[in-house]
Structure 1
Amino acid sequence: MLDVTATAEPILDIWPYVESVASDDLEGYQLTDGIVRHVYQDPKDRFLHVLVSTDDINVFLVVIINLKSIKVHGHYLLDLPKLYDLQSEPEE
């Protein structure tokens, strides 16, 4: 994946889609107000992965945009501590 955060231009208004995401999909996390933290493009230029911030700096709602059709392809919750089995706080 190529980090295109610095050069990405909005090609689609994702916010109506983001607002329609079921709260169950967020697993208790809250979205921050309209903040895109990172944008990644796959190496074959097919999809953009737009990472929307939540109230946890290590958890994102990822909105996938199909670059051919310029439509939202779907979404998933990227929970980095859960994915990599990391502790939020050091154990004592």
Structure 2
Amino acid sequence: METNKLSHEQYQATFQAPMLDVTATAEPILDIWPYVDSVVPNDLEGYQLTDRIVRHVYQDPKRRFLHVLVSTNDINVFLVVILNLKSIKVHGHYLLDLPKLYNLQSAPEK
């Protein structure tokens, strides 16, 4: 399966504050796992995905995109799979590295 690694700017274009936390109410609209399985290891920058765990799901206020945050071996780093809600397709993925983004300490998964 072909994947689409998004730049920070492309990722930001799918993000609009305030993002709505829909983790508790989100319904699966698309099987993301074939896409996740196709992401090349270089895109994970040394992090490992952990047991197909979706930690959070956020929706932009205009209901254009869902951000599905898949856990890695660091509790502060996620593979974000962005779903286009209009076409019901994967828009792309982005490695959300919160320690790098916000100059935080990294923390391994427990």
TM bracket, shorter-chain basis: over 0.9
* Structure 2 gaps, min length 5: 1-18
Give the corresponding residue for 1:64.
82
* Separation in 1, partners of 2:106, 2:45: 16
Give the corresponding residue for 2:48.
30
Give the corresponding residue for 1:39.
57
Question: Which of structure 1's runs of 4+ aligned residues deviate more than 4 A?
Answer: none
Offset at 1:33?
1.0
Q: Larger relative CO (CA 8 A, sep 6+): 1 or 2?
A: 2
| 2:93 aligns with one of 64, 67, 75 | 75
* Separation in 1, partners of 2:91, 2:29: 14
The letter for the 1-side match of 2:60 is D
TM-score (norm 1): 0.94
Larger Rg: 1
The Cα offsets for residues 33-90 of structure 1, whole Å up to 9 and x where unpaired, read as: 110000000010000000000000000000000000000000000000000011237x
Give the percent of matched residue pairs that are identical in Structure 1 and Structure 2. Answer: 89
SS at match of 1:69: coil
* Structure 1 gaps, min length 5: none
Q: How large is the RMSD of aligned CA atoms in angstroms?
A: 0.9
TM-score (norm 2): 0.79
